[in-house]
Amino acid sequence: MNSPSTRTVTDLASKIDTGMDALVQQLTELIRHRSISADGNVSKVRETAQHITALLADAGVEAELIDVGDDGRQHAPLVYADHRCADAAPDTPTVLLYAHYDVHPADGWEEAFTPVVDTSSNRLYGRGAADDKAGIVMHLGAIRAFDGTPPVHLKLAWEGEGEAGRGSLEELVRERPDLFQADVVIVADSGNVRPGVPTLTTSLRGLATMDVTVRTLQRPVHSGTCGGPAPDAFTALVRMLATLHAPDGSIAPELLSRHEWQGAEVSEEQFRDDAHILPDVQLTGAGSVAQRLYADPAINVIGLDGIPPVDRARHSVCDRATARLSIRLSPEMSSASETLGKLRQHLESVRPWNVETTIQDRVVSAGYQADVDKKTFQDAESALLGAYSGMSEVAYTGRGGSLPLVAALQEVNPGAVMLVWGCEEPLTDIHGDGENVALPELRNMTLAEATLFDSLRSEPGTGADRVA
Ligand SMILES: [Zn+2]
């Protein structure tokens, strides 16, 4: 692993330290913008986008607002820029920077949009302080460290619907891949495993849904006159679903495509707390918590049709029942359709009483597994270690949830290195009523990103990565 030259890190560090007050000021301003995408107030979100465009212009980058979504609804625009590096060597890579400027709602947190720095902890409080306005200013700070002329070609894709889950940006990525072509993608919407511990998110689970419908009768019949010999569709469905898990709650071994988790661990105590698990209830599954959370699949029933709620219960035998399963897929991109195929086959094979079944599934997002041996990845590690002085190792972590955008960007840039990092360490309490960002994290992550830009310029060898 090469470490970036001390001089470069020192130069960039002093540049970033000098600009830090201004950067915090810009983040503070951004937090004041109530850019809540979920409440449908697009004009507020659009104002934020315009504000960011002005910040970028001031940093020497000309950005435009691109409309997303063609479903007839109003959408928050994408802040987009294609900023070419003048006089660059022919093999200079293009780095795509992603962050989202919209925020999670803040109902019940009155000070959410009145940002304040707590000087004793050196943390800035406010909705979006970490998720993900820190990502926006971190990119901005890295660009500013080069006075607006960073040594790589940059593309900026800063989204206004990152929290809305509408998938409008993924659609645009697939419709207009030319806008998103890049050699390196940096997604600044994640964070270190702990403050001060430089971390890369190397693993994201995928997401799929499956609707399993069972039919047994032409219509519901009375449970007194027919119950017993008449096969109940709901009972059949439950029996089928029960075979998906082993007695300890892990996925049935024949369905599990296992990928060994090698990153940072998650303590059981921490996880019980995060997941609000009742004191005497056991965790399900086997292996380390991180293995179960980041690398193994998980299946949950998230919707049910065919059976009335209790207060409208009738004495009848159920003729037809449907369950919607949410399936968290193990991170390898290729395994999504294979896993679903196995699952369908399995459900067909355990069908009791020859009941009729129909199964419909959909991959929402493929997973992602970083190839940590690629040189750009190692450059990113060196950049992190340069920024977090005194640390000798970068931790790898995962996310149990999916980032559909990462899968879409990887799809249109199959050879690109995807880096997922940011300022959202666990104490930032994202989406909580005390969301905050640690200012030293913001400083160090900005420095790491700037250092990475610099090392991508100075290393012609990165070309090999880009076509791999
Ligand atoms: Zn986010």
CA–CA dist 31, 54 (Å, integer): 16
Q: Which of 78-82, 95-99, 220-224, 273-277 has the lowest mean pLDDT?
A: 273-277
For residue 190, report the distance from its CA to the centre of ligand 1, in Å. Answer: 7
Domains and CATH numbers, the chain: 6-204+367-467 (3.40.630.10), 206-259+296-365 (3.30.70.360)
Query: Which amino acid is located at 178 in the chain?
Result: D
CA of 100 to the centre of ligand 1 (A): 7
pLDDT on residue 361? 95
- The span from the CA of 184 to the CA of 311, in Å, is 55
How many Å lie between the centroid of ligand 1 and the Cα of residue 449? 18
Averaged pLDDT for residues 281-289: 96
Euclidean distance between CA atoms 417 and 183, whole angstroms:
7
Pairing of strands 320-329, 298-305: antiparallel
pLDDT digits (tens, 9 = 90+) for 153-181: 999 999 999 988 778 899 999 999 999 99
- Evaluated on CA atoms 88, 90, 92, 94, the torsion sign reads positive
- For 322-349, what is the mean pLDDT? 89
Task: Report d(CA 48, CA 159) in Å as an integer.
Answer: 11
- 3-class secondary structure, 213: strand
Distance of CA 346 to the CA centre of its chain: 30
Written as one string, the DSSP assignment of 219-249 is: S-EETTTTBTTBPPHHHHHHHHHHTTB-TTS
pLDDT-above-70 percentage for the chain: 96
How close is the Cα of 407 to the center of ligand 1, in Å? 16
Angle at 209 between CA 204 and CA 211, to 5 degrees: 165
3-state SS assignment for residue 56: helix
CA-only gyration radius of the chain, Å? 25
| Side chain identity, residue 358 | T
Q: Which residues surround ligand 1, an ion (CB under 5 A)?
A: 131-132, 189
Per-residue pLDDT for 416 more than 50? Answer: yes
Report whether pLDDT(137) > 80.
yes
450: left (phi over 0), alpha (psi -120 to 50) or beta: alpha
Are residues 449 and 138 in contact, defined by beta-carbon separation less than 8 angstroms?
yes
DSSP 62-118: --EEE----SSS--PPEEEEEEPPTT--TTPPEEEEEEE--B---TT-GGGGS-EEE
Would you state the pLDDT for residue 403? 80
Tell me the per-residue pLDDT of 7-31, one tens digit each, with 9 for 90 and over. Answer: 578 999 999 999 999 999 999 999 9
Q: How far is the CA of 31 from the centre of ligand 1 (A)?
A: 14
CA angle 131, 136, 140 (to 5 degrees): 155
Cα(246)–Cα(299) distance, integer angstroms: 12
Ranking 8-12, 92-96, 184-188, 417-421 by mean pLDDT, the lowest is 8-12
How far, in Å, from the CA of 364 to the mean position of ligand 1? 18
Average pLDDT of every residue of the chain: 92
Whether the per-residue pLDDT at 462 is higher than 50: the answer is no
Task: Report the separation in Å between the CA atom of 450 and the middle of ligand 1, taken as the mean of its atom positions.
Answer: 21
What is the pLDDT averaged over residues 415-423? Answer: 95
* pLDDT band at 464; cut points 50, 70, 90: very low
Q: Smallest Cα–Cα separation from 28: which of 156, 136, 153? A: 136
Average pLDDT of the residues in 110-133? 97
The Cβ of residue 293 has, within 10 Å, a number of other Cβ atoms equal to 22
